[in-house]
Chain A
Amino acid sequence: MIYVAEYKLKTPLSEADVRKLRVGDIVYLTGTIVTARDAAHRRMLDYLKEGKPIPVDLRGGVIYHCGPVVQKLGDQWIALAAGPTTSARMDLYEADVIKNFGVRMVIGKGGMGARTAQACREYGAVYAYFTGGAAVLAANAIKRVVRVEWLDLGIPEALWVFEVEDFGPLLITIDSEGRNLTEEVVEQAKKKREEVLKKLGVT
């Protein structure tokens, strides 16, 4: 069922770039990515409602669910460890963020739900895994911290703008055709529940 194609993509991403991606594909990304967690997502949508501009341009952009470990040396921030955080928390906001800000790729871990998958289909976006916990691998692909916005939210929650080179492997788990791999796997596991409980002598 799985074939793995490997792509090297550059930001900003076009709709065609992401429409060709399928669940199971691997992507290495070069260009700019922006971190955002719960608080930043909430603020983006608040600003939108109030008609205020947000400090980053996300058209064709990539959002990375990540709260990095950073260090400031002189004027320059350095990302020491920057793996993904659990994406499920951003399910509340992501569909609206994709719709309103033109995001083409969301990177995180653990998968996202039906509303986000629906937005991916409708507006042409994908969701990709960066291996959970692989923080140094990620930091290694971050060539420069371009800037940070909304630092008042705290280091983990701020918008960190990273310049990346061959950032990956990113594994597509939600594509723009409506497949959602993590959900499929977990659904399958749930179907096995009865059988497993029987084997354990529970039922």
Chain B
Amino acid sequence: MPSLEEFKEIIAKAVSETIERAAIYIPPDIKQALKRAYEEEVNPMAKSQLEAILKNIELAEKFKKPVCQDTGSIIYYVTVGYDFPGLRVLREALVEAVRRATKQVPLRPNTVDPFTGRNPGDNTGRYMPYIHLELVEGDGLEVTVVPKGGGSEGVSYLELPPPGEGVKAVKRVVVDAVLKAGSLPCPPTIVGVGVGGGADIAMYLAKKAACTRKIGTLNPDPVLYELEKELYEALNSLGIGPMGLGGKYTVLAVHVDYAHRHPAAMPVAVAFQCWATRRATVKINANGKYVIEQ
């Protein structure tokens, strides 16, 4: 088994490679959804945008360059076993991975101090990269990297409607969020919806559902499954279309998640993942061996 020092190096290396993978290669489920949208789109302007998107994805793969110049804020979704031997150096290694990837890929330096405007230049800073950490049984580590772009983040939406309105409020908030976002999040998008928990929890669930759940995976909850289908049809009937130029595909998918709520509040959060979905996952075992998946 590798020593702690070795683990730090292994994790930093594996995760920086994972960031690189995410920055350059669009995951297969997203590519497939975009291809389908291109084939089915009839509005010529919308089609021209989807064509440019597909061409761009190809060029990024060919030249191994970041698929979008906004290489995002690096968000980690981590599940780690209680007995993972590198646990003690995990945090340090995850920050180091961002520094390395920033130089190697390279990534655009995107972390700015909100008060002074200073940019440290390496995509790190206070709380950044952000690490969502979940402890589970076992001795392995799984890190999903989401470099999240600013255009789609900028239209995130939260409402706290009266709980009495129930699911109707959820539907209304989602429609309003998509209307308000319009062309800004680079549609077609994946819309993540988080309901309940609390304002922060709803937004966490929404963003996680938008950015990490694969297109084509079915919601195991039959009520949410139906809701997702209904919202998908409804949102695409708005006709905002690719890049807001009209057309069939405003959204590629709708993903809903929820938490139990306080009796007095029903937070509904909507997060957007632009077409340029950057995501990759690395699994590292107790021996330090790793695989990267998308």
Contacts and interface: CB of A to CB of B under 8 A. Distances in A.
B59 A190 contact: no
B237 A192 contact: yes
Contacts of A201: 168, 171
B243 interface: yes
A43 B213 CA distance: 42
Contact of A132 (B63, B172, B274): B274
Contact of B183 (A82, A110, A155): A110
Given A133-B186, A154-B109, A185 B234 contact: no
Interface string A181-203: 11001101110110011011110
Given A186-B179, A196-B238, A199-B234, A69 B69 contact: yes
B172 A129 contact: no
Given A86-B184, A133-B67, A200-B171, A185 B246 contact: yes
B56 A136 contact: yes
B279 to A, nearest CB: 15
B239 interface: yes
Contacts, number: 182
Main secondary structure, interface of A, reads mixed
A80 B66 contact: yes
B49 interface: yes
Interface residues of B, number: 54
Given A68-B69, A88-B184, A111-B183, A133 B109 contact: no
Contacts of B162: none
A2 B45 contact: yes
Given A133-B275, A137-B55, A189-B179, A82 B69 contact: yes
A131 interface: yes
A180 B30 CA distance: 30
Given A109-B186, A131-B243, A193 B179 contact: yes
B59 A140 contact: yes
B65 A139 contact: yes
Contacts of B176: 193
Contacts of A155: 108-109
A185 B179 contact: no
Of the candidates A66, A67, A186, the one having the most CB atoms from chain B within 10 angstroms of its own CB is: A186
B71 interface: yes
A71 B240 CA distance: 36
A197 B150 CA distance: 29
Interface in A126-153: 129, 131-140
Interface of B: 44-45, 48-49, 52-53, 55-56, 59-60, 63, 65-71, 106-110, 112, 119, 149-151, 154, 168, 171-172, 175-176, 179, 182-184, 186, 230-231, 234, 237-241, 243-246, 274-276
Interface of A: 2, 4, 24, 26, 66-69, 71, 80-83, 85-86, 88, 109-111, 129, 131-140, 154-156, 169, 171, 173, 181-182, 185-186, 188-190, 192-193, 196-197, 199-202
